[in-house]
């Protein structure tokens, strides 16, 4: 059985107001409300607030955005004619392996520039493949979205 306290009475009273099954019996709620002025005031405020919310209408999205997204996907697929195959990745991994093998030669100090070469190779590969791994697509927006139209 649920404990009869102010919080449970408020939840149960609002459940009754919303048409749901309360955890407490309506007689228990009424008996508590006769004794507790704080709960009566709180439930009156919650009921008033809920009635204000009931008057609000939610805006329905009438714009269908999937055809635009689908077209952009098709456009991107046809625009990128270079396909990443395992050969490109295999060549790149061999290049990095050779670089690391040279770096491990004893007695040679190659300096700072030699340590920057792997990062430059990775940048070159992403540039060659025309991919930015940190890219966020800013193109898609909903019609009538004022925030996106201003920027």
Mean pLDDT over the full length of the chain: 76
pLDDT value at residue 51: 87
Domain ranges of the chain: 6-55, 84-140
pLDDT per position as a tens digit, 2-61? 778 888 888 888 888 888 888 888 888 888 888 889 988 998 998 898 888 888 877 777
- Within 8 A by CB and 6+ apart from 22, the residues are 11, 12, 13, 15, 16, 29
User: Is pLDDT at 69 greater than 80 in this prediction?
Assistant: yes
User: Is pLDDT at 111 greater than 80 in this prediction?
Assistant: no
**pLDDT category, 106, cuts 50, 70, 90?**
confident
pTM for the model? 0.37
- Within 8 A by CB and 6+ apart from 16, the residues are 22, 26, 29
Write b or e for each residue in 33-63: b if 16 or more Cβ atoms lie within 10 A of its Cβ, otherwise e.
beebeebeebbeeeeeeeeeeeeeeeeeeee
Angstrom distance (rounded) from CA 73 to CA 12: 50
Cα–Cα distances in Å, from 48 out to 3, 14, 67, 107, 139? 26, 11, 43, 82, 43
Report the half-sphere exposure of 79 (CA within 13 A, side-chain side): 9
């Amino acid at each position: 059985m649920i404990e009869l306290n102010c919080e449970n009475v408020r939840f149960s009273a609002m459940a009754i107001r919303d048409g749901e099954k309360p955890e407490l019996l309506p007689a228990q709620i009424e008996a508590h409300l006769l004794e507790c002025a704080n709960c009566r005031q709180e439930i009156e405020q919650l009921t008033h607030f809920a009635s204000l919310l009931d008057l609000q209408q939610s805006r329905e999205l009438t714009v269908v955005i999937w055809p635009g997204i689908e077209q952009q996907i098709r456009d991107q697929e046809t625009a990128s004619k270079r396909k990443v195959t395992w050969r490109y990745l295999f060549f790149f991994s061999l290049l990095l392996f050779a670089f690391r093998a040279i770096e491990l030669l004893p007695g040679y100090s190659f300096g700072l520039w030699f340590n920057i070469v792997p990062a430059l190779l990775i940048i070159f590969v992403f540039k060659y493949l025309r991919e930015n791994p940190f890219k966020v697509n800013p193109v898609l927006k909903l019609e009538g979205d004022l925030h996106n139209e201003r920027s």
